Amino acid sequence: MGKQQTKAGRERRKRKEPIGPVKIAMVSPEMVPFAKTGGLADMAGSLCPALERLGLKVSVVMPAYRSVIHGNFSLIDGGLSVSVPISDRQVEGSILQTKLGQGMAVHFIRCDRYFDREALYTASEGDYVDNAERFVFLARAALEALRPNPPQILHCHDWQTALAIVFLKAQPENYPELASVKTVLTVHNLGYQGLFGYPDWHLLNLDRSLFNFRQLEFFGKINFLKGGLVFADAITAVSPTYAEEIKSPEQGFGLEGLFQERAQDLFGILNGADYAVWSPQADRCIARNYGATDLAGKKVCKADLQRAMGLPETAGIPLVGMVSRLIAQKGLDLLEKCGEELLGRNLQFVLLGSGEAKYEAAVREWALRHPGKASVRIGFDETLAHQIEAGADLFLMPSQYEPCGLNQLYSLKYGTIPIVRATGGLKDSVIDYQPKSRSGTGFVFGPYEPAALLDALDRALNLFARPKGWEALVKRAMAADFSWDRSARAYAEMYQRLVS
Ligand code: ADP
CATH of residue 242's domain is: 3.40.50.2000
Tell which phi-psi region holds residue 158, choosing left (phi > 0), alpha (psi between -120 and 50) or beta: left
CA dihedral 222, 228, 231, 234 (to 10 degrees): -160
Is the minimum distance from the CB of 405 to ligand 1 under 6 angstroms? yes
Please check whether residues 488 and 466 belong to one and the same domain.
no
Residue type, 170: A
Is the minimum distance from the CB of 352 to ligand 1 under 6 angstroms? yes
Please check whether residues 251 and 147 belong to one and the same domain.
yes
Please check whether residues 267 and 326 belong to one and the same domain.
no
Q: Which pLDDT does position 125 carry in this prediction?
A: 86
Distance 123 CA to ligand 1 centre (A): 18
Q: Which pLDDT does position 290 carry in this prediction?
A: 98
Distance 324 CA to ligand 1 centre (A): 6
Please check whether residues 312 and 223 belong to one and the same domain.
no
Q: Which pLDDT does position 3 carry in this prediction?
A: 41
39 Cβ neighbours under 8 A, 6+ residues apart: 188, 238, 271, 404, 405, 406
Q: Would the CA dihedral through 408, 412, 415, 420 be positive or negative?
A: positive
Distance 39 CA to ligand 1 centre (A): 6
Q: Can you tell me the distance from the alpha carbon of 372 to that of 45, in angstroms, rounded to the nearest whole number?
A: 38
Is the minimum distance from the CB of 360 to ligand 1 under 6 angstroms? no
Is the minimum distance from the CB of 217 to ligand 1 under 6 angstroms? no
Q: Can you tell me the distance from the alpha carbon of 479 to that of 325, in angstroms, rounded to the nearest whole number?
A: 27
Q: Which pLDDT does position 5 carry in this prediction?
A: 46
Ligand 1 pocket test target in 380, 408, 482 with most atoms within 8 Å of CB: 380
Does residue 121 lie within any of the structural domains? yes
Indicate the helix (H) or strand (E) that contains 353: strand 348-355
Indicate the helix (H) or strand (E) that contains 338: helix 332-343
Q: In this structure, what are the phi and psi dihedrals at residue 497, rounded to the nearest 5 degrees?
A: -65, -40
pLDDT tens over the chain, length 500 residues: 444 445 655 665 565 555 678 999 999 999 999 999 888 999 999 999 999 999 999 999 999 999 999 999 999 998 999 999 999 999 999 999 999 988 899 999 999 999 999 999 998 889 999 999 999 999 999 999 999 999 999 999 999 999 999 999 999 999 999 999 999 999 999 999 999 999 999 999 999 999 999 999 999 999 999 999 999 999 999 999 999 999 999 999 999 999 999 999 999 999 999 899 999 999 999 999 999 999 999 999 999 999 999 999 999 999 999 999 999 999 999 999 999 999 999 999 999 999 999 999 999 999 999 999 999 999 999 999 999 999 999 999 999 999 999 999 999 999 999 999 999 999 999 999 999 999 999 999 999 999 999 999 999 999 999 999 999 999 999 999 999 999 999 999 999 999 98
CA dihedral 385, 387, 388, 390 (to 10 degrees): 120
165 Cβ neighbours under 8 A, 6+ residues apart: 154, 156, 183, 185, 227, 228, 231, 232
Please check whether residues 106 and 208 belong to one and the same domain.
yes
Does residue 282 lie within any of the structural domains? no
**Domain total of the chain:** 2
31 Cβ neighbours under 8 A, 6+ residues apart: 41, 44, 45, 48, 60, 62, 106
Q: 229: domain range?
A: 7-272+484-499
- Going edge to edge, which strands form the sheet with 195-196? 195-196, 221-223, 217-218
Does residue 178 lie within any of the structural domains? yes
Q: Can you tell me the distance from the alpha carbon of 303 to that of 321, in angstroms, rounded to the nearest whole number?
A: 13
For 195-240, give the DSSP string: EE-GGGGGGG---GGG-STTTTEETTEEEHHHHHHHH-SEEEESSH
Please check whether residues 373 and 233 belong to one and the same domain.
no
Does residue 397 lie within any of the structural domains? yes
Q: Can you tell me the distance from the alpha carbon of 25 to that of 23, in angstroms, rounded to the nearest whole number?
A: 7
- Please give the DSSP secondary-structure letter assigned to residue 57: E
Please check whether residues 212 and 333 belong to one and the same domain.
no
Please check whether residues 224 and 300 belong to one and the same domain.
no
Does residue 281 lie within any of the structural domains? no
Please check whether residues 433 and 468 belong to one and the same domain.
yes
Does residue 24 lie within any of the structural domains? yes
Distance 395 CA to ligand 1 centre (A): 13
44 Cβ neighbours under 8 A, 6+ residues apart: 26, 28, 30, 31, 32, 60, 157
Please check whether residues 319 and 361 belong to one and the same domain.
yes
Please check whether residues 231 and 376 belong to one and the same domain.
no
For 421-484, give the DSSP string: ESSHHHHHH-PBPBTTTTB-SBEEE-SSSHHHHHHHHHHHHHHHTSHHHHHHHHHHHHH---BH
For 35-53, give the DSSP string: B-SSHHHHHHHHHHHHHHH
Half-sphere exposure of 241 (CA within 13 A, CB side): 15
Nearest CA to ligand 1 atom 17: 38
Does residue 379 lie within any of the structural domains? yes
Atom of ligand 1 nearest to the CA of 353: 23
Indicate the helix (H) or strand (E) that contains 375: strand 374-378
Spatial contact of 495 and 184, defined as CB atoms under 8 Å apart: yes
Please check whether residues 255 and 303 belong to one and the same domain.
no
Does residue 283 lie within any of the structural domains? no
pTM for the whole thing?
A: 0.93
